[in-house]
A and B are shown apart, each in its own frame.
Chain A
Amino acid sequence: MPDGQSLDITITVNGEARTVVVDTRTTLLDALRDRLHLSGTKKGCGLGQCGACTVLLDGRRIVSCLTFAVMAEGKAVTTIEGLAQDGSLHPLQAAFVEHDAFQCGYCTPGQIMSAAGLLSEGRNGTDDEIRDLMSGNICRCGAYTNILAAIRDVLPRESGR
């Protein structure tokens, strides 16, 4: 943007320190997609209302379209590209394949990152709670049954209540 202020920031992205020049108003989503060429994170609405752009910031899930890149300075961002380790899929990714938990796939990175957030935030829960926690991620193809089944497979069961 012409009148914004440019800054050099360093973000640890998927375990690697990355320096990018951003405008103060550049969203984390645009920084990831346009500057770092990590196009796995999707833009569905740009309004914080669909969840397609979900990534983890220091292990907590956020919508990257409503987060300024500068807010991630010095923090650790995990995107869908950083989930698989040593060439093998993260259990959530494997479960999504196993359960056919997508159709067009456009919401999938956000769904998986949102579920990864549930894991790293130490959530477990009943099916109802998972549904509630996942309700910020729209799947217009309506693959919810399989998405929830995939997450259910990986998330620890709630230990009694």
Chain B
Amino acid sequence: MSETRIQDRGEAETLRDVPHHKLAAAADKAIRGGVARPVAHDSAARHVTGAAVYVDDIPELPGTLHLHVATSSRAHARVAAIDLAPVRAAPGVVAVLSAGDIPGENDCSPVFHDDPVFAEGEVQYAGQSLFAVAAVTREAARAAAALARIEYEDLPALLTVDDALAADADLLPPHEMRLGDPEAAIAAAPRRLAGTIRVGGQDHFYLEGQIAYAVPGEGEDVLVHSSTQHPSEVQHTVAKVLGVADHAVTVEVRRMGGGFGGKESQPALFAAIAALAAKKTGRPAKLRVDRDDDMVMTGKRHDFRIDWEVGFDGSGRIAGAVFRQAARCGYSADLSGGIADRAMFHADNAYDLRAARIHSRRLKTHTVSNTAFRGFGGPQGMIATERVLDAVAFALGRDPLDVRRANFYPPGGGAVTPYHQEVTDSVVSEMVEELERSSGYRARRQAVRAFNAGSPILKKGISLTPVKFGISFTATHLNQAGALVHVYKDGSVHLNHGGTEMGQGLFVKVAQVVAEVFQIDLDRVKITATTTAKVPNTSATAASSGSDLNGMAAKAAAEAIRGRLVAFAAAKYRLPEDRIVFLPNRVRIGNEEMSFPDLVQEAYLNQVSLSSTGFYATPGIHYDRETASGKPFFYYAYGAAVSEVAIDTLTGENRVLRVDILHDVGRSLNPAIDLGQIEGGFIQGLGWLTTEELWWDEAGRLRTHAPSTYKIPTANDRPDDMRIAIWSKGENRAETVFRSKAVGEPPLMLALSAFSAIVDAVAAAADYRAFPDLDAPATPERVLAAVEDARRRAGFA
């Protein structure tokens, strides 16, 4: 039956029976590309040929203008005078935009109305947007911007966590979680320790920088192509800045060249400026941010200072712990509240602290407003926990693994977190036991000790650390997602949902889910660009929730259509619904079989709707801020890693020699994609903890704003020997999509094993007589200083 046949406006009521397609023999087997298969990334062929289109690759429309954003050179200053006349007069300039040109609200913040698109009167960080130039070329825009005459009157600037603590500069109110009476527990414990650890931030360095391309439409309408993890928020921000309704703005993104959290709130500024320029000039406008500008202008992972105290017994069992976390938020709130919360939610990592106080301060500084970065504060919370465990083990002269094990959340439940959620799904003991065996941890620890005894310059260290990561947005209402599925008359499927693709393989995973529901081959499901016009009011693709939420929403949409097909077939063939069974690429109806497209065509001819939205909201999660308690997480994802490292005690250089990883992804939707996430997460975490150092000068200017000064792991920094396994027993006890678990963020924290191993190696340099005082990142300078400090304290000459 031809396509035109069923579209034909033929005579009334002359529909003939649909001639059924011959069922292919291959259809007897499983479908190609269902769930749990290691299917290649949907864009694989396009990626290797250069045909994958990113925002900057969309063919430019005639008349497209290019934008450059001029920024503050001061950390904190009053803008006494600003003269843009020379900018306007420069060749090629079509428009110059500043605060006065904004028809709506001069704000691109996600929540708190504290991120002006263009600063007015006062600047609060070096790199803050002041005005933008739209010109015929990018070079003309940049050259013109440099002609502005700006007079600043400097104001005192707070640049570091310690500056802010000294000035009592809280940006947001502190928060505290409390379990039992930790102070009393610590006081009563046989042993006590206290310390401080500082951990640096991290630049996302998504390989595709921030970019937005705005195309003006009729009336108030504008279409914005934005490289964003959060199209709905970009839509809302653009509407707010333009002073129009959300429905006038469409935001679309097919894929990003990496996001890592840096394209959650940060793209709003660039999209708003591009849209403003487009509406102002009536011409398409593109803002592609240069790499240096991107690194200077956009927020990073929060750096933290964490002070800790712990009480424990002779076996290392913790009786109580106190963590005081201080986060550098930068000049505005952005997502800092949620990030600092998540750092608190992970101050226990996988350990039952029994009594705990987690205190958090969110500090204001005159630096860029820090933002989401894979792990969203969790890694910073955990690093202090792991430091505590290392310190306790060192004080007792025990293997840190034994001390860790003594404190794990028990598998049978019963223990609660500092925010009073019972941990019922702890598989950490079992996983660690398996990894200890498969990695040969004990023997290798012996070997490391033996090596160190005979090696005066090079020292090795080894460590096994666990990860327990809470899955769900901690702002409960964000745990919702929508999807839109169409089945066309030929049985091919169009899939859309609110999630965005940044390389994590979300699109292929969700498509696998839909293929599974319909029992059709994956190539029958078309993956389409995320757009606010198809699925509205979406949450950011963040918090590792992409597949959990969008997978469920797409599943619901597909199941709704499948349900209609079943009801139709049951009625037509007078069979109970359970006699209609979806088999690979076909449907069994009673004793007959029909291809999926044939059933679809019959349904169409019988006026059955073949399109559905789907919606999902995570059930049963909540958090009460007043009492700092609740069940903010639907479930936990677990993992563990063993890292073995070597340091050079003369230079501080360090290297990971081998890493063994065992990670829990529940029942993997796609093992190939999940393995990539685990490995990539580990490497990114390793960069954060060892080589990636952000450095601001005394004037508050970021001096590490290119890969030449900011060291991102290369092929050479990858550990020589990486052995990664997905935990074969993994299964999600919570009802998630096909019992899978989220995988985006948790593996990043596996890299804490490398940091602990470096601490172990530094201890070796002082003959295990002083516990190292090492902050992150463990750059050669810091390792060298820690070696010298430990040796001094150990009484080395």
Interface flag for A117 (CB, 8 Å): no
Q: Give the contacts of B268-323 with A (CB-CB under 8 A).
A: 290-292
Of the listed residues B41, B47, B59, B257, the one surrounded by the most CB atoms of chain A closer than 10 A to its CB is: B47
Interface flag for A64 (CB, 8 Å): no
Chain B residue at smallest Cβ distance from A107: B207
Chain A residue at smallest Cβ distance from B140: A2
1/0 per residue, CB under 8 A from A, across B706-729: the answer is: 111000111110100010000000
Interface contact B712-A140, CB-CB below 8 Å: yes
Interface flag for A103 (CB, 8 Å): yes
Known interface pairs A138-B707, A141-B680, A142-B681; A106-B54 also in contact (CB < 8 Å)? yes
Q: Give the contacts of A77-122 with B (CB-CB under 8 A).
A: 79-81, 83-84, 89, 93-94, 96-97, 100, 102-109, 112
A2 to B136, CA, bound (A): 11
Chain B contact residues: helix, strand, loop or mixed: loop
Of the listed residues B139, B257, B683, B715, the one surrounded by the most CB atoms of chain A closer than 10 A to its CB is: B715
A134 to B713, CA, bound (A): 12
A42 to B211, CA, bound (A): 13
Interface flag for A68 (CB, 8 Å): no
Interface contact A131-B716, CB-CB below 8 Å: yes
A79 to B49, CA, bound (A): 10
Known interface pairs A1-B137, A2-B140, A106-B207; A145-B53 also in contact (CB < 8 Å)? no
Q: Give the contacts of B206-235 with A (CB-CB under 8 A).
A: 206-209
Tell which of A37, A104, A142 touches B683, judged by Cβ atoms closer than 8 Å.
A142
Interface contact B40-A100, CB-CB below 8 Å: yes
Interface residues on B, range: 35 or more
The 7 closest A-B pairs by CB, nearest first: A40-B50, A104-B503, A106-B257, A142-B683, A142-B680, A105-B47, A103-B503
A146 to B673, CA, bound (A): 12
Q: Which residues from chain B contact A96 at a C-beta distance below 8 Å?
A: 44, 47-48
Interface flag for B258 (CB, 8 Å): yes
Smallest CB separation, A141 vs chain B (Å):
5
Interface flag for A59 (CB, 8 Å): no
Q: Which residues from chain A contact B681 at a C-beta distance below 8 Å?
A: 142
Interface contact B707-A45, CB-CB below 8 Å: yes
Interface contact B59-A104, CB-CB below 8 Å: no
Of the listed residues A41, A45, A141, the one surrounded by the most CB atoms of chain B closer than 10 A to its CB is: A141
Q: Which residues from chain A contact B715 at a C-beta distance below 8 Å?
A: 131, 134-135, 137, 139, 144, 147-148
A83 to B50, CA, bound (A): 10
Q: Which residues from chain A contact B677 at a C-beta distance below 8 Å?
A: 103
Chain A residue at smallest Cβ distance from B142: A1
Q: Give the contacts of B230-273 with A (CB-CB under 8 A).
A: 255-260
Interface flag for A43 (CB, 8 Å): yes
A38 to B53, CA, bound (A): 11
Q: Which residues from chain A contact B57 at a C-beta distance below 8 Å?
A: 39
Interface contact A43-B56, CB-CB below 8 Å: yes
1/0 per residue, CB under 8 A from A, across B33-46: the answer is: 00000001101111
Interface flag for B660 (CB, 8 Å): no
Interface contact B684-A142, CB-CB below 8 Å: yes
Smallest CB separation, B192 vs chain A (Å):
40
Interface flag for B760 (CB, 8 Å): no
A131 to B209, CA, bound (A): 25
Q: Which residues from chain B contact A140 at a C-beta distance below 8 Å?
A: 204-207, 258, 260, 684, 712
Interface contact B48-A97, CB-CB below 8 Å: yes
Smallest CB separation, A116 vs chain B (Å):
11
Interface contact B707-A39, CB-CB below 8 Å: no
Q: Which residues from chain B contact A102 at a C-beta distance below 8 Å?
A: 41, 44, 47-48, 503
Q: Which residues from chain A contact B205 at a C-beta distance below 8 Å?
A: 138, 140
Interface flag for B676 (CB, 8 Å): yes
A159 to B662, CA, bound (A): 36
Tell which of B48, B256, B706 touches A108, judged by Cβ atoms closer than 8 Å.
B48
Interface contact B48-A89, CB-CB below 8 Å: yes
Tell which of A42, A45, A103, A144 touches B718, judged by Cβ atoms closer than 8 Å.
A144
Interface contact A50-B207, CB-CB below 8 Å: yes
Smallest CB separation, A81 vs chain B (Å):
5
Interface flag for A44 (CB, 8 Å): yes
A44 to B46, CA, bound (A): 18
A137 to B716, CA, bound (A): 10
Interface flag for A46 (CB, 8 Å): yes
Interface contact A2-B716, CB-CB below 8 Å: no
Smallest CB separation, A107 vs chain B (Å):
5
A93 to B206, CA, bound (A): 23
Smallest CB separation, A121 vs chain B (Å):
17
Interface flag for A155 (CB, 8 Å): no
Q: Give the contacts of B673-687 with A (CB-CB under 8 A).
A: 673, 676-677, 679-684
Interface flag for B106 (CB, 8 Å): no
1/0 per residue, CB under 8 A from B, across A32-56: the answer is: 0100011111111111011010000
Q: Which residues from chain B contact A108 at a C-beta distance below 8 Å?
A: 47-48
Chain A contact residues: helix, strand, loop or mixed: loop
Interface flag for B330 (CB, 8 Å): no
A49 to B714, CA, bound (A): 11
Q: Which residues from chain B contact A40 at a C-beta distance below 8 Å?
A: 49-51
Interface contact B718-A145, CB-CB below 8 Å: yes
Interface flag for B505 (CB, 8 Å): yes
Smallest CB separation, B488 vs chain A (Å):
28
Interface contact A142-B679, CB-CB below 8 Å: yes
Smallest CB separation, A29 vs chain B (Å):
11
Q: Which residues from chain B contact A20 at a C-beta distance below 8 Å?
A: none
Interface flag for B690 (CB, 8 Å): no
Interface contact A97-B50, CB-CB below 8 Å: no
Q: Which residues from chain A contact B504 at a C-beta distance below 8 Å?
A: 103
Interface flag for B333 (CB, 8 Å): no
A112 to B45, CA, bound (A): 13
1/0 per residue, CB under 8 A from A, across B133-150: the answer is: 000010110010000000
6 contacts between A and B (CB under 8 A): A52-B207, A80-B50, A89-B45, A93-B48, A103-B504, A142-B679
Interface flag for A9 (CB, 8 Å): no
Interface flag for B91 (CB, 8 Å): yes
Interface contact B708-A44, CB-CB below 8 Å: no
Of the listed residues B504, B505, B680, B712, the one surrounded by the most CB atoms of chain A closer than 10 A to its CB is: B680
A55 to B177, CA, bound (A): 54
Chain B residue at smallest Cβ distance from A148: B715
Known interface pairs A106-B207, A140-B207, A144-B718; A97-B291 also in contact (CB < 8 Å)? no
Smallest CB separation, B669 vs chain A (Å):
15
Smallest CB separation, B11 vs chain A (Å):
45
A141 to B748, CA, bound (A): 11
A108 to B48, CA, bound (A): 6
Known interface pairs A45-B291, A97-B44; A104-B258 also in contact (CB < 8 Å)? yes
A86 to B684, CA, bound (A): 38
Q: Which residues from chain B contact A139 at a C-beta distance below 8 Å?
A: 207, 715
Chain A residue at smallest Cβ distance from B53: A39
Chain B residue at smallest Cβ distance from A104: B503
Interface flag for A143 (CB, 8 Å): yes
Of the listed residues B673, B681, B706, the one surrounded by the most CB atoms of chain A closer than 10 A to its CB is: B706
Interface flag for B561 (CB, 8 Å): no
Interface flag for A158 (CB, 8 Å): no
Chain B residue at smallest Cβ distance from A48: B708
Smallest CB separation, A145 vs chain B (Å):
6
Q: Which residues from chain B contact A94 at a C-beta distance below 8 Å?
A: 48
Tell which of B40, B91, B137, B683 touches A97, judged by Cβ atoms closer than 8 Å.
B40
Smallest CB separation, A64 vs chain B (Å):
13
Tell which of A103, A104, A109, A146 touches B208, judged by Cβ atoms closer than 8 Å.
A104
Smallest CB separation, B102 vs chain A (Å):
29
Interface contact A104-B50, CB-CB below 8 Å: no
Interface contact B49-A81, CB-CB below 8 Å: yes
Q: Which residues from chain A contact B206 at a C-beta distance below 8 Å?
A: 104, 106, 140
